[in-house]
Every structure is written in C-alpha cells, then in structure tokens.
Amino acid sequence: MQNPFARERSLGVSRTRRRYDLPLNKAGGTGFLTLLIGLMTFLALLALSASFVLSAMTDRWSSGLENRVTIEIPAENEAGKILSSEETKKTGLKIESLLTSHPAVLRTHIMTDEEIRELVKPWLGENLMLGKIPLPGLISAELQEMTPETIQILEKKIKAIHKTARIDTHEEWLGDLLRFTGALQFAAFILALVIGLATITAVAGAVRSHMAVYHAEVELLHLMGAHDSYISRQFQRHSLSLAFQGGLCGVAIGGLCLLIIGWISGEMGVSLLPDFRMGYLQLGVLATLPVFMALISALAARQTVLKVLRKMP
C-alpha cells in the first residue's frame, strides 16, 4: 500500500513544521521592526556596558579607600621653609609611631618616594626631574572604624608633631566621584527604560497594524471558537522570533563595537584609568539581551492582541 504521506512529502509540505494561521511572516514591516529592535538592543548594550564599567570604577575606587586615611606632610613647614627629605622622613616616622600606638589604627604604611612618584606621574609626567622636586611625605593608615571623633583626636596629635600636617579622609573627592558616577548610572538606567518602552511601543504598533490588515482572518478564527489566547499566541510567536533575531544582530554589532572601543583605548594607552574588564556575570547579562528583548516584545504583542480582541463580541 502506498504511504498516505508520500504525496504530501512529494509536494514538499511538511506536516510537522510549526505554521501560522495568519500570514504574519509575509506581512510588511517585519524587516523594519527587526531592524528597529536590533538598534534598540545595540543601544541597550552600550548603555548597560557603560553602567557596568561605571560601577566597576566606583567599586574599585571606593573599596580601597574605605576606612583609610592619608596623612600628608607638606614639604614645607608653616614658615614656608622647604624641608629636606631627611627632615620629612623623620617627621613621618614620628607620626607613624604615634599612629601605631593608637588603638583605633590597624595598619600604617609610609609611602616611599618611588610610590609617590608613581602616584603623581600621570599628572606631572615622567620626564620632569622628579628627583629635584621636594616630595611631601605620605602615610596611609587603615583605621578600625572611621568616626569623626577618632579623626579629630588623631589630627590634634599629628598637628602637635608637625603644624601643617593634615589628615585626608578622601571623603570629599570620593563623594564627588560617587555622585558623578551615580548620575551617569542613573542616566544609563533611564536610557535602558526608554529603550524598553520604545520597543514595547513599536511592537504594539506593528501588532495593531497587522491585526487591522488581517482583521477578516482574525475574526474568522474568533468565529470558529478560537480562544483569545490561541489568536494572541500567533502574534506572540511572531514577535518573539523577530525580536530575538533583531536582538542577536544588535548584540553582535554592539559586542563588536565594544571590542573596537576596548582595542582603541588599549592602543592609545589610556592607562590613567584602571583596566575595566567586565565580569562573567555582566557579560552574561549582556548576552541575554536578545532573550530579554524577545520576551518583552512577546508580552507587548500579547497584551495588544488581547486588548483588540476584547472589542469582538
């Protein structure tokens, strides 16, 4: 007996392929929507990366500085006389022994000239004859807990040893920095939100116009007793797949851009900033962007279809 499916096969009609009851994949505007979602994903990728880099920066800058103070011994005394480096060192040692004897202080470290040179290099340049410039003394100290009282007491004692010495708690510039990066992160967050909303709006608009174009077909399904969820699934699947495709393109192009940016900044030797490599978790988040775009698109399509269908009897 002849295989009953032989004819179907010979006609090239596969019966297992998932099909649409509505010709959505042939509908106009599909390419446009894919492109739009690709662009949105691209922007979202850049915004998220920027936000990750910023948070890595603030982490790195603030983590090293927590509960740390730096005692600065200026290279000149209150009378404006330049101190020799031996004198500065002697004062430094005196202050250090004072600090170590205090119970609130955990650790101290007198920075060597080398370390100080390394610190000021980005600002003053290597070529300056650093050896000839009198360097201030710097002592970094780690406290058990940074309270204003402790700082006050320590400052008083230090001033008794050297009038112009002062404690720098980094609070001021760190606070400014954190406020600045916080604002940038907030902007990135708002940008991501706007991208999400724009995607939802675009998908909803496309679904609405498709439903208008295929009104007769949609109504027919409805009259045959299709539940709203059956009809919305058609649009959902379609939006899901094209948003995923768009998302993949966006992430691919965005990733390429990030690599190029990374390469250029590496080439130009932007070593002023520490190296901000993203962690696996953050890369993972970026990689799931297409999935996320696909999901919000499907959800937007579903809500739109259900809303339109509610007008049918």
- Interface positions with another protein (CB under 8 A): 4-5, 8, 11, 13, 15-16, 19, 21, 23, 26, 216-217, 219-228, 230, 310, 312-313
- For another protein, the closer CB: 26 or 81: 26
Q: For the chain, how big is the Rg over CA atoms in Å?
A: 32
- For another protein, the closer CB: 168 or 217: 217
Signed CA dihedral, 230, 234, 235, 241: sign only: positive
Minimum gap (Å) between residue 246 Cβ and another protein: 24
Six-digit token string for 215 = 């009104």
Q: Among all chains, which residue has been given the structure tokens 């031996």?
A: 86
Minimum gap (Å) between residue 241 Cβ and another protein: 18
- For another protein, the closer CB: 2 or 63: 2
Minimum gap (Å) between residue 24 Cβ and another protein: 10
Cβ atoms of 140 and 99 closer than 8 Å: no
Six-digit token string for 251 = 């992430």
Minimum gap (Å) between residue 12 Cβ and another protein: 9
Cβ atoms of 50 and 183 closer than 8 Å: no
CA distance 280 to 286: 10
Q: How many helices (H) and strands (E) does the chain have?
A: 10, 4
CA distance 130 to 117: 7
Give the residue from 232, 237, 217, 210 showing the smallest Cα distance to 307: 232
Three-state DSSP class for 5? coil
Minimum gap (Å) between residue 32 Cβ and another protein: 21
- For another protein, the closer CB: 75 or 218: 218
Minimum gap (Å) between residue 23 Cβ and another protein: 4
- For another protein, the closer CB: 208 or 222: 222
- Tell me which H or E stretch contains 176: helix 171-213
Residue 180 CB contacts under 8 Å (≥ 6 apart), including other chains: none
- For another protein, the closer CB: 113 or 219: 219
The DSSP 8-state label assigned to residue 132 in this structure reads: G
- For another protein, the closer CB: 224 or 281: 224
Minimum gap (Å) between residue 304 Cβ and another protein: 17
